[in-house]
Amino acid sequence: MLNLKGRSFLTLKDFTPREVRLMLETAKQLKNNKLTGVPNKHHEGKTIAMLFEKTSTRTRCAFVTGARDLGMHAEFLGKDDIQLGKKESVRDTALVLGRMFDGIEFRGFSHDTVEELAKYAGVPVWNGLTDKYHPTQGLADMLTIKEHVGHLEGAHLAYVGDGRNNVANTLMIVSSLLGLHYSVGTPKELFPDPALVEECRALAEKYQTGATIRVVENPYEAVTDADAVYTDVWVSMGEEDKFEERIRLLKDYQVNQDLMLATRKNNTKFLHCLPAFHDKNTKVGKEILEKYNLDAMEVSDDVFYSKNSVVFDQAENRVYTIEAVMDLTL
């Protein structure tokens, strides 16, 4: 029997396909339990720390809800509550928090920080997002695709947009582990790290998953025959000075009805990790879209709210996949 107790969750590259499937199977069971009124309180009396350098809606709420479902208390520590790397080193912070908490979540900028926390904490550390990877999101995406497409192995997932951000990296990794055909449509300037592409291909070969990885400039080529089309914001948190540059590079990579029709399938699902710049109904969205004379950025409003959009199922599934990771590693 697989046992993940005591393991940290920093990137999906650290796990085998069997271990990732166990996480998804556990998430499905925890979800079924909750929806049918069966309690999941496997860890009553435990306490976790949630360290947030970056703000969040879904990650924070999913960890709090998942912890409560498991019978635990979650303590939130925002950027103004901790001295991480400022007055206190990451190592010292890890050594202190590891003596007080049963597990630690970190959401922030540098992936080195979460690795150092895991090295010294002595308790499981979970990556809620870093500049390189977003593994809890990747798990929720796979659970959502399985629910709506019906299978993962052999499914075609197309990602359109910034091909080297943390979500795109994570989708490439998890696709290689679970046997999906992963294609990326992105400008040459935003191609994923070639070393990561080769590493993912090597993982697919090592585990004989049948996964393929393709990186192309033409978004219409990327989505041909796709079972699911995924996009993310064009400018990640911390890159706000790059809006003009990214709009110039990505204006032809918007996921709209024309692009969805290019899949040549009627039931292709649309995914987005949220939040999305799909209309002018937020203060920031209105300012940016009006400044650059756009109706939407990475996804059109009609695709975002279409019958094929599963973005809110993705958001809900963050709870169950995060809950599964905590349950298994604690």
| Sheet with 269-272: strands ordered across | 212-216, 181-185, 156-160, 228-231, 269-272
The annotation status of 318 as a binding-site residue, yes or no, is yes
pLDDT at 317: 98
Query: At 84, is the pLDDT very low, low, confident or very high (cuts 50, 70, 90)?
Result: confident
Quickly count helices (H) and strands (E) in the chain. 13, 9
> Active-site residue among 7, 43, 60, 134?
134
Is 201 marked active-site? no
Mean pLDDT estimate for the chain: 96
Peptide bond into 192 cis (omega under 30): no
Mean pLDDT of 65-69: 98
**126 strand-pairing partners:** 9, 105
Of the chain, the end-to-end C-alpha distance in Å amounts to 16
**41 strand-pairing partners:** none
> Active-site residue among 232, 278, 314, 327?
232
> Active-site residue among 102, 278, 318, 327?
318
The annotation status of 186 as a binding-site residue, yes or no, is no
The annotation status of 231 as a binding-site residue, yes or no, is no
> Active-site residue among 273, 278, 314, 327?
273
Residue whose pair of structure tokens reads 């590079």 in the numeric block: 249
DSSP H or E segment with residue 103? strand 103-107
Residue 219 near residue 259, CB atoms below 8 Å: yes
> Which DSSP string do the residues of 261-288 spell out, in sequence order?
HTT--SS-EEEE-S----SS-SHHHHHH
Q: Would you say residue 269 has pLDDT above 90?
A: yes
Is 18 marked active-site? no
pLDDT at 239: 82
Q: Would you say residue 140 has pLDDT above 90?
A: yes
Residues 232-264 pLDDT 10s: 999 987 788 888 999 999 999 999 999 999 999
Residue 8 near residue 118, CB atoms below 8 Å: yes
pLDDT at 237: 77
The annotation status of 3 as a binding-site residue, yes or no, is no
Mean pLDDT of 188-207: 98
| Higher per-residue pLDDT: 329 or 241 | 329
Query: At 120, is the pLDDT very low, low, confident or very high (cuts 50, 70, 90)?
Result: very high
pTM: 0.97
Peptide bond into 275 cis (omega under 30): yes
The annotation status of 200 as a binding-site residue, yes or no, is no
Residues 279-313 pLDDT 10s: 999 888 899 899 999 999 999 999 999 999 999 99
The annotation status of 59 as a binding-site residue, yes or no, is yes
Residues 1-44 pLDDT 10s: 799 999 999 999 999 999 999 999 999 999 999 999 999 999 99
> Active-site residue among 7, 60, 107, 111?
107
The annotation status of 297 as a binding-site residue, yes or no, is no
Is 254 marked active-site? no
Other residues' Cβ atoms within 10 Å of the Cβ of residue 262: 20
The secondary structure of residue 242, as a DSSP letter, is G
pLDDT at 137: 98
Mean pLDDT of 65-83: 94
> Active-site residue among 137, 162, 181, 327?
137
pLDDT at 207: 98
Is 107 marked active-site? yes
All structural domains of the chain, each given as residue ranges with its CATH number in brackets, are 12-133+319-329 (3.40.50.1370), 137-316 (3.40.50.1370)
The secondary structure of residue 210, as a DSSP letter, is -
pLDDT at 40: 96
Residue 162 near residue 192, CB atoms below 8 Å: no
pLDDT at 256: 98
Query: At 86, is the pLDDT very low, low, confident or very high (cuts 50, 70, 90)?
Result: confident
The annotation status of 56 as a binding-site residue, yes or no, is yes
Is 68 marked active-site? no
Residue 226 near residue 268, CB atoms below 8 Å: yes
Is 137 marked active-site? yes
Three-class SS of residue 319?
helix
Q: Would you say residue 107 has pLDDT above 90?
A: yes
pLDDT at 83: 76
